[in-house]
């Protein structure tokens, strides 16, 4: 088995390698003067089971092209099996036609990764589970719920917690966590008038006198989450914290979170945190290295991955 990494999240790749007690395989990824990407695999991979770790986070297109070119280089070097490990699958929000004459970009990206030569895909908390069906190769969608449940029990007053979905679409995700920590469930009913803006309409469930944990897969601008936190506090909640798998946090999101009524925002390292995120007073990061490392080890040894979440 060999583990390669692109440039999107080198620290996470190094942590996974430490968990696997395996050195990161050597590859050179550089750019020509016109920003064309060039990859050279610097060790023998013939007949090897190869894993390529790369999140398609900002800049998404550059990191996606790095992944595709690395997969092609490994295929041409006669690797036995190539698994693309994408802790964050960046085009997952474009999983359906949202209007007339719009693309389904998640399906397009799935096709490109398959055509580049990947034999398997491993990812974390897909925006919509059915995206697994966009790939014509085996796809493992890992869940961060066990990590979040452990963190809640270690750092939160979890005996007085209610798990809150920030919208109706995230109820399944929130319910899974609520079941793990034996907590009640609430839902924020909101109306979105235009992209990036949302208006909280109602709280479904009992939140008064409780510590509220908002659960979602992606936080981008942070507007929806901050509005939901304000609504929960107005409804009598003692506090509002949030657990989000993928901290995109674009634009002024970090400043918005820092000045919001959120007690704490906990994100994973599926996307490499920026300096602003690391220095924010109410943002904390938990690692996915052990989860991803164990899933990689089980895949390499042909063991069950789904049993990780039993």
CA distance 79 to 32: 26
CA 123 centroid distance within chain: 8
Cis, peptide link before residue 59, omega less than 30° from 0:
yes
Quick one: pLDDT at residue 105? 97
- The predicted-structure confidence for 66-84, as pLDDT tens digits, reads as follows 999 999 999 999 999 999 9
**DSSP 3-state helix, strand, coil percentages of the chain (rounded to 5)?**
35, 25, 35
Triad 280, 241, 267: Cα angle to 5°: 55
CATH numeric code, 2-142+290-309 = 3.40.50.2020
Quick one: pLDDT at residue 279? 96
Look up 153 and say whether it is catalytic: no
Tokens of 56: 């398609």
Q: Where in the chain is the domain with CATH 3.40.50.2020?
A: 2-142+290-309, 145-287
Quick one: pLDDT at residue 202? 87
Report the mean per-residue pLDDT for the chain. 94
Quick one: pLDDT at residue 110? 98
Quick one: pLDDT at residue 156? 82
For the chain, give the percent of residues with pLDDT over 90. 90
Which of 2, 153, 179, 190 is labelled catalytic?
190
Contact, 200 vs 168, CB < 8 A?
no
What are 34-37's contacts with CB under 8 Å, separation 24+?
Answer: 37/62, 37/65, 37/66, 37/69
- The predicted-structure confidence for 111-131, as pLDDT tens digits, reads as follows 999 999 999 999 999 999 999
190 or 98: which leads in pLDDT? 98
- The predicted-structure confidence for 259-278, as pLDDT tens digits, reads as follows 999 999 999 999 999 999 99
Quick one: pLDDT at residue 198? 55
CA distance 159 to 163: 11
CATH numeric code, 145-287 = 3.40.50.2020
Inter-axis angle of helices 60-76 and 105-116, nearest 10 = 30
Asked if residue 199 has pLDDT above 80, the reply is no
């Amino acid at each position: 088995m060999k583990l390669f990494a692109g440039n999107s999240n080198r620290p996470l790749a190094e942590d996974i390698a430490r968990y696997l007690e395996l050195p990161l395989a050597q590859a050179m990824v550089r750019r020509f003067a016109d920003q064309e990407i060039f990859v050279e695999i610097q060790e023998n991979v013939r007949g090897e089971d190869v894993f390529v770790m790369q999140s398609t986070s900002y800049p998404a297109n550059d990191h996606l092209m790095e992944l595709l070119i690395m997969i092609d280089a490994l295929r041409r070097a006669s690797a036995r099996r190539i698994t693309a490990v994408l802790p964050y699958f960046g085009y997952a929000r474009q999983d359906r036609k949202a209007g007339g004459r719009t693309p389904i970009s998640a399906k397009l990206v799935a096709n490109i990764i398959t055509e580049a030569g990947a034999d398997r895909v491993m990812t974390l908390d897909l925006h919509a589970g059915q995206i697994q069906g966009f790939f014509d190769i085996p796809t493992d969608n890992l869940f961060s719920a066990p990590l979040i449940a452990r963190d809640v029990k270690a750092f939160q007053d979890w005996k007085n917690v209610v798990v809150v979905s920030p919208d109706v679409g995230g109820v399944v995700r929130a319910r899974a966590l609520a079941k793990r920590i034996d907590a009640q469930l609430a839902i924020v009913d909101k109306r979105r008038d235009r992209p990036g803006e949302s208006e909280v309409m109602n709280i479904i469930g009992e939140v008064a006198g409780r510590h509220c944990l908002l659960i979602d897969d992606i936080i981008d601008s942070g507007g929806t989450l901050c509005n939901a936190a304000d609504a929960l506090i107005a409804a009598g909640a003692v506090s509002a914290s949030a657990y989000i798998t993928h901290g995109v946090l674009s634009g002024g999101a970090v400043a918005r979170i820092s000045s919001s009524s959120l007690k704490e925002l906990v994100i994973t390292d599926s996307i490499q945190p920026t300096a602003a995120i690391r220095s924010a007073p109410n943002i904390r990061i938990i690692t996915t290295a052990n989860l991803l490392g164990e899933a990689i080890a089980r895949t390499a040894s042909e063991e069950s991955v789904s049993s990780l979440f039993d």
